[in-house]
Structure 1
Amino acid sequence: MSRKKRKNEFIEQRDLLLEKSSAGWVSFRRFLFAPNLLTFVISVVVGNAFGGAIKDLVSLLASFISFVWRWLFTQNHPMYFAATQQAWSAFITSFLTMISIALAVYYTIQFINNKLINSESEKWGYDEPHEDMMALQKLQRENNDLIKKNNELQEKVLQALAESKQKS
């Protein structure tokens, strides 16, 4: 085999390998950043944090009710504020955790959309039915404008015909 022929075969094999690996990477990226998968992951992560915040809010309310109950129905009406301190601390921690997770998810999605995904239709949050409807509305407006122009031209033609009949 000649050196040139081997070089050409090598180049062909290299190009084929790059093409296959590139297609594989695109396929993997589409799977990893699929809107349904990301929606599921975000729902689980943020939902879990939200559930923790709600649980701690309920605990806080129960501690507050206990505090009020003790204050109203025990002798000498003691004010025992420490009874709610731990519940407040847990709720604030859970709430800040939930907000932090939501912000981290938001900025991660922004990074993915702006840096890792090239096609607008592959970006997370892309609403194809909405985009299609917006395109249809634009076409409908253009169509309505053309119909108005057509009607105006037809009126001019009818007027011109009426004037030509009157002259003859």
Structure 2
Amino acid sequence: MLFKPREKKEFIYQKNRLIQKSSEGMISFRRFLFAPNLLTFVISVVVGNAFGSTVKELVTTLFHFFYAIWRWLVGKGHPVSFDSTWDALSNFLTSALTLLAIALAVFYFIQFINNWLIGSEEEKWGYDEPHQDSLNEQALIKKNNALMKENIALQKEIIQLLKDSSKEGNQK
């Protein structure tokens, strides 16, 4: 016999171990895939590329506009013609709308990831642990300040009571 028969307990143990390792691997992969730094990089590349294209089209539009004005002012017998400017303007508007569409798609994709695929608040994209720590520290400082004010008020009350009792002692 090539394979030794396995007992049911060992088989169940191996199955559970395989499921656990697979789950750990998927959790690690999900954390990698939705890591804030990775998402920030991807968003920067995608939106930055669209923004660069929009700026390029804007420059082209401006160049065509100034070229048409230049030809009209300097050239003899050249009527003012903005035909190439209209084409460039059309390309610029297309690029700007593409940038807007990409930004909206990225925004709603991140919302989908945060609301449906990521469970804990700390794993959500955009979660800023140092910022949250600062907010927690500010709340503690406010609480501490309130306690200090209460302490000062109590100390003033004690001092007043001591003054009043010393006045009564002097009068007797």
Q: Identify whether the pair has TM-score above 0.5, normalized to the shorter chain.
A: yes
Give the Cα–Cα distance (whole angstroms) in 2 for the partners of residues 55 and 159 of structure 1. Answer: 75
- What SS does the aligned partner of 1:79 have? coil
Q: Shift of the alpha carbon at 1:95?
A: 1.1
Residue by residue over 1:8-52, the C-alpha shift from the partner in whole angstroms, topping out at 9 and shown as x without a partner, is 333332222222111111111111111111111111111111111
Q: Shift of the alpha carbon at 1:155?
A: 2.0
| Residue of structure 1 in register with 2:14 after alignment | 13
Q: Shift of the alpha carbon at 1:76?
A: 3.7
- What SS does the aligned partner of 2:7 have? helix
Q: Shift of the alpha carbon at 1:113?
A: 0.8
Q: Shift of the alpha carbon at 1:83?
A: 2.2
Sequence identity, in percent? 57
Give the Cα–Cα distance (whole angstroms) in 2 for the partners of residues 162 and 18 of structure 1. Answer: 75
Please state if 1:88 is matched with 2:94.
no
| Residue of structure 2 in register with 1:102 after alignment | 103
Please state if 1:53 is matched with 2:48.
no
TM-score with structure 2 setting the length: 0.87
Give the Cα–Cα distance (whole angstroms) in 1 for the partners of residues 13 and 147 of structure 2. Answer: 53
- What SS does the aligned partner of 2:91 have? helix
Q: Shift of the alpha carbon at 1:77?
A: 4.6
Give the Cα–Cα distance (whole angstroms) in 2 for the partners of residues 73 and 83 of structure 1. Answer: 18
Aligned CA RMSD, in angstroms, stands at 1.7
Give the Cα–Cα distance (whole angstroms) in 1 for the partners of residues 12 and 113 of structure 2. Answer: 33
Gaps of 5+ in 1: none
**1:54-133 equivalence runs, <5 A:** 54-133=55-134
Give the Cα–Cα distance (whole angstroms) in 1 for the partners of residues 13 and 157 of structure 2. Answer: 66
Give the Cα–Cα distance (whole angstroms) in 2 for the partners of residues 59 and 161 of structure 1. Answer: 84
Change (3 A) 1:22 1:78: same
- What SS does the aligned partner of 1:66 have? helix
Q: Shift of the alpha carbon at 1:73?
A: 2.2
Give the Cα–Cα distance (whole angstroms) in 2 for the partners of residues 15 and 48 of structure 1. Answer: 46
Aligned residue-pair number? 164
Q: Which runs of 4+ in 1 moved over 6 A?
A: none
Residue by residue over 1:53-75, the C-alpha shift from the partner in whole angstroms, topping out at 9 and shown as x without a partner, is 11111111110011111222233
**1:22-41 equivalence runs, <5 A:** 22-41=23-42
| Residue of structure 1 in register with 2:157 after alignment | 156
**1:136-151 equivalence runs, <5 A:** 136-151=137-152
TM-score with structure 1 setting the length: 0.89
Output the amino acid matched with 1:9.
Answer: E
